[in-house]
Structure formats: structure tokens, C-alpha cells
Amino acid sequence: MNFHDRVQQIIAKKNSLLCVGLDTVIEKVPRAIRTSKNPLLDFNKAIIEATADYAAAFKVNVAFYEAHGVAGWQALFDTFACLPDDVIKIADAKRGDIGNTAAMYSKAVFDLLHADCVTVNPYMGFDSAAPFLTDETKGVFFLCLTSNPGSRDFQYFSNGKQCLYERVATMVNAWNTRHNCGLVVGATHPDELTAVRKMSPELPFLIPGIGTQGGDLAIAVRNGIDAKGSLALFNSSRAIIYASQNSDFAQAAQKTAQATMLQLNQARLSI
């Protein structure tokens, strides 16, 4: 099954558009876990178990593990191994390099981590993307219009007809011959989200920015889903995983994940 169909299938099966982001920081983990041998892994395990029923996807932010060196990479591998089969497993790595190097990154995320998809920075163009796209079952979410303030610096650069982010969307649609391309579009840009969805009716979207970053959830859903009310994964990281920093953190994460899933579903049903 190609990546596009799998995203659609999982969203339908789980009846959820929620992606839980595992941006795990030791300092924010409850004290009891912080002193364990594998605090990142123990925390993630508890969060995954508590929230998996409500999540269509988990996004693991590679940076947060790299920052712990070799032990962090071990925790990254072990975290991926804990993810259940009926979710989309996203390696949020934002990689991108010339062909022979991109092939190495592809090996790391697909063959070692067994991620279903990876975030990729499009700046270096098609030959930097191609090594991630050879297997139709494995997907790429290309950065298109990101949720951060710096998205204004280059992504709106315009040739008078198109902004760079629209040019990226146009190209990624053309690269989608194996039905395994997607786009990252931030919820903090609701109007642009509408425009990119219109240009890209067949692409899965990964939409950050609805939690701590402040994007409006209902508007992001309305503007980001496809014609069938699917094909969009809305990421929330900190608002869910740090819903409580006490010993009830897993239950608090579960409640917040469930509430967010319901909010997302309410928003798509009210259209």
C-alpha cells in the first residue's frame, strides 16, 4: 500500500487526525522518571501507551535525542520500537543533502528506525529528495510553509506569481509519482493552508502549530483537510506530553490527547 493510502486508512481506522509529538526534554519529565536509567524512553513508553488509542500518528523529533549523543540515539531507536503498528511513525528530522548523502539519511530513518515517513527540507531540490522516495510505502513530508516566525524570511519570497512555499508545493506535487509525498504547512498560516490544500488535493499534510504555538485548531482543520475530511495530521507536542509534570503525567496526557482528538473531529464534522 502506498503512503498516501496508508495515511488515509489509519485516519479512518483510528477516527483521528491527531499526531502526538515526542519532543521529550529530560528537564520536563517528572522527577521520578528523571532519575531512572532511561528517562527519555521510560517517559515516551508511558506517553505512547496512554495516548495511542487517540493518535493516528506519532512524530519523534530527532533533535531531542541527538542532544543526548549515543545514549540519546539508543533512546530514539527504542522509542520507535515501542510505537504500535496502527499509527503513522514520523521521524521529524528535517534532513536534506546531495544524493549520496541523502541516501545515508534515508537508510537511517527507514532501515534502522523503521519510520513510515520523514520530514525533509526541500532547499537542495529534487536529487536531495529522490533517495527518500524510492519506496512507495515510505513517505516524505516536505517543509512547505513552517509554523515559526522565521517562515517569513524566505518562504514568502515571491516571483510576482508565486511565493517560494507555493513553488515548493507545485514541485512536490510533480514529484508525487509514487503517491508518497506530503507537505508540512503550519496552522499559524490559516489562509495559506487553504491555498496549498487547493493546489494539492492528493497530498497528506502534516500540520504543526495548533498547541503551544497558538494556531487556531478549528480553522486549521477546516483549511487543511482534503475533500473527504481526511489526509491531514495535526501535531501537538508540548501541550499533550507535558499536560502535567507530576506523577499523573500519563493520565493527563491521555485526557489532553483524547480532548484534542475530539476537538479535531468536531471541527471536521462541523464543516
Cβ-based burial of 195 (10 A; exposed 0-12, middle 13-18, buried ≥19): middle
SS3 readout for 148-204: CCCHHHHCCCECCCCEHHHHHHHHHHHHCCCCCEEEEECCCCHHHHHHHHHHCCCCC
Interacting residues with its own copies between 122 and 141 (CB under 8 A): 122-129
36 contributes a contact to its own copies by CB under 8 A: no
Q: Using the minimum distance from each CB to its own copies, give the nearer residue, 7 or 118.
A: 118
94 contributes a contact to its own copies by CB under 8 A: yes
Give 240-249 contacts, CB < 8 A, sequence gap 24+: 240/20, 240/21, 240/47, 240/51, 240/211, 241/20, 241/21, 241/22, 241/23, 241/24, 241/43, 241/47, 242/28, 245/28, 245/29, 245/30, 246/30, 247/30, 247/32, 249/30, 249/43, 249/46, 249/47
Binding residue for its own copies, selected from 27, 35, 85, 159, defined by CB under 8 A: 159
151 contributes a contact to its own copies by CB under 8 A: yes
Least distance from its own copies to the Cβ atom of residue 48, Å: 20
171 contributes a contact to its own copies by CB under 8 A: yes
Instruction: Identify which range of 30-38, 158-166, 193-201, 239-247 contacts its own copies by CB under 8 A.
Output: 158-166
Binding residue for its own copies, selected from 13, 32, 99, 271, defined by CB under 8 A: 99
Sign for the CA dihedral angle at 63, 65, 71, 75 comes to negative
Instruction: Identify which range of 32-40, 159-167, 192-200, 262-270 contacts its own copies by CB under 8 A.
Output: 159-167
Q: Does residue 94 have an active-site annotation? A: yes
Q: What is the CA radius of gyration of the chain?
A: 18
Binding residue for its own copies, selected from 77, 216, 222, 251, defined by CB under 8 A: 77
Residue pair 240/257 in contact by the 8 Å Cβ criterion = yes
Q: Which one of the listed residues 28, 45, 94, 255 is annotated catalytic?
A: 94
Q: Using the minimum distance from each CB to its own copies, give the nearer residue, 45 or 167.
A: 167
CB count in 10 Å sphere of residue 177? 9
Instruction: Identify which range of 52-60, 157-165, 193-201, 214-222 contacts its own copies by CB under 8 A.
Output: 157-165
Q: Using the minimum distance from each CB to its own copies, give the nearer residue, 154 or 201.
A: 154
Residues that bind its own copies (CB under 8 A): 23, 61, 63-64, 66-67, 69-70, 73-74, 77, 94-102, 104-105, 107-108, 112, 121-129, 143, 146-155, 157-160, 164, 167-168, 171
- Residues serving a catalytic function are 94
